[in-house]
Amino acid sequence: MELFPSAEQQKKSQVKKSGLVVVKNMTIIGLHCSSTDLHAGQIALIKHGSRLKNCDLYFSRKPCSTCLKMIVNAGVNRISYWPADPEISLQNEASNPMTTDDAKLDAKAVERLKSNSRARVCVLLQPLVCYMVQFIEETSTNFDFIQKIAKSQPDFNTDFYTACRQEKIKEYESLFLISNEETHKQILMTIGLENLCENPYFSNLRQNMKDLVLVLATVAASVPVFGCFGFYSTDSQPANETHHQGLPQEIARHCMIQARLLAYRTEDHKTGVGAIIWAEEKSRSCDGTGAMYFVGCGYNAFPVGSEYADFPHMDDKQKDREIRKFRYIIHAEQNALTFRCREIKPDEKSMIFVTKCPCDECVPLIKGAGIKQIYAGDVDAGKKKADISYMKFGELEGVTKFTWQLNPFHTNALEFHDPMTRENGVQKTKSVDDQQHQNKKLCLGHY
């Protein structure tokens, strides 16, 4: 959430932009990020108030005393945070000692609030499951969005995904990691984490942080910024122009990345699917997400409380239909609707982001729930695969469908198929080297 795109520019200050996840009874009830005026913790208070009682809060930065005192007072159960630079920066002592002094005083206040409250305030940074990074890397490389680019580009460079991933790793490391280990240790000591400054704890902490950054970068690179690819409507004549208008590309892409992250929680190891529902209020909100607010999320899994061997895990290659999993798996869209934290309002624009095309089971549910827009990879639209049919998606009316594809309305949509481009109205041929250089810039998101 810290990386959620914002139309407004963050004011230049020592306060870090931070993200926040609010969980109650093992269900996500809020996703927030700080705005130019308010910290993420303050926004949570405005949004949830006394409903924060017994909630678990997960911050991307250690909260400041202003946020912490209100959150503690609301009766939260646990506050967990990313153990790097806190919400008020401690990295600028040389350039601005006065600001750093304030940050140190704030850190002491936070520790006092922490030690005198019933809420548990802690670092929650566990090592990833063995081979998880490798699993995510392998599945991201072969994911639908990457494959679409490969099919559209006859001269597709096999290093494209690797280049995107390396670029994301550099970006995320600069945002989430403190490159200098000694500076990191000083910050940890200042914010009351002296016990993590000694090895092997410090080395393990740094490695766990790097692993999580690697996961985030790997997933983000699987929905890349590339040329004229983006989320575009598949409806030729929309019934409602307001609802037909899609989100800005960077926000739509970011929400799809969130759905991609959810897909890795799946219990269906062959086909992981994630879904997340957002909606837009009529008036601008105080949140860093603007008018958008979180409704619900889910991934495909077996019914709650079931054991691993209770239901079949076989795929569609099995001839015996009784031992197929399809009739038992709860789909990502179904879980997102079941465990949503807010009602879907008919007079507001609501949208669901799904990593794969919704099937015939889910399409009527999405329409019946009043969701106005579907964002999907649209890989299986119009197909029937074993017991799962995707025929209803294309026929769906009253809901605007957006799929990740080449821009069908842009005159330059075929620019990457043809090395011939127009410059100042004159036909110009690009050299192969120029074209490859341009494609590389675009695949890395540099316009």
With 0-12 CB in 10 A as exposed, 13-18 as middle and 19+ as buried, what is 430?
middle
> Distance between CA 253 and CA 445 in Å, rounded?
12
Known catalytic residues are 333
Contact between residue 40 and residue 20 where contact means Cβ atoms under 8 Å apart: yes
Q: Alpha-carbon distance 171 to 163, whole Å? A: 12
211 three-state secondary structure:
helix
Pairing of strands 373-376, 349-354: parallel
Nearest alpha carbon to residue 171 among 126, 242, 236, 220 = 220
CB 5 within 8 A of CB 248: yes
CA distance 283 to 393: 31
Helix (H) or strand (E) holding 354: strand 349-354
**368 closest CA partner among 350, 385, 384:** 350
Q: What is d(CA 129, CA 345) in angstroms, rounded to the nearest whole number?
A: 39
